[in-house]
A = this chain, B = another copy of it.
Amino acid sequence: MTTPRLASVLEFLTLADQLKHVLRRGRTLDADGIARWENSAEHCWHVALAAVLLRDELAFPVDLGRVLAMIAAHDLVEIEAGDTFAYDAAGAATQAEREQRAADRIFGTLPPDLGAQMHALWAEFEAGVTPESRFAMGCDRLQGFFQGVISGGKAWIEAGVTTAQSARRMDPAAAVDPAFATLIAALRERALAEGLLRP
């Protein structure tokens, strides 16, 4: 005999399982070098790990619990809205509206207080104003860039992404903290050296 509240949490976790089937535009290579597209669930874990490793490098303090809760929640909207490739201009035009609708729908399945809490985490991440959300955004974009670099940048090459386009995507992450600026510069240098981005 479960309570309606706990039953609703189980239902939500069942819905969340679908994030494991939302594919991103970065790949991951196994030990034999066989590549497959990364999914948003494993991406979220990798972003969380980056945050744990980088939290002490920041020049400003953050509440790590809120950072990691935000990272766990921020991509759930993709279950309904899909992942939007960072360099898909047409997708970007409708992304905010699609994700807003998805957030209302998905978090609306939870008991009101819990749904509001999850919705607030997602909205804080999207707004990117608080130190916690800026750090989380920095880790999210850093991981995306990193993942492309370590897996051969297939999606960038196919889309002909330029260094300037990549910089527009990564500059807000580089501005989070000098440590991010350093990491992103190192990754950009590698991406250029390996021909993953157009000069």
Could you list which residues of chain A lie within 8 angstroms of chain B, going by C-beta atoms?
1-3, 5-7, 9-10, 12-14, 16-21, 28-31, 38-39, 41-42, 44-46, 48-54, 56-57, 63-69, 72-73, 110, 114, 117-118, 121, 143, 146-147, 150, 179, 182-183, 185-187
Contact = CB atoms under 8 A, between A and B. Distances in A.
How many monomers of this protein are in the complex? 2
Contact of A13 (B49, B63, B182): B49
A150 B66 CA distance: 29
Contact of A65 (B1, B13, B57, B63): B63
Contacts of A118: 52-53
23 contacts: A1-B182, A2-B186, A6-B183, A9-B54, A10-B146, A13-B143, A17-B29, A17-B46, A17-B150, A18-B30, A20-B28, A21-B30, A21-B31, A41-B46, A42-B42, A45-B45, A48-B68, A48-B72, A49-B72, A52-B69, A64-B66, A65-B67, A68-B72
A69 B68 contact: yes
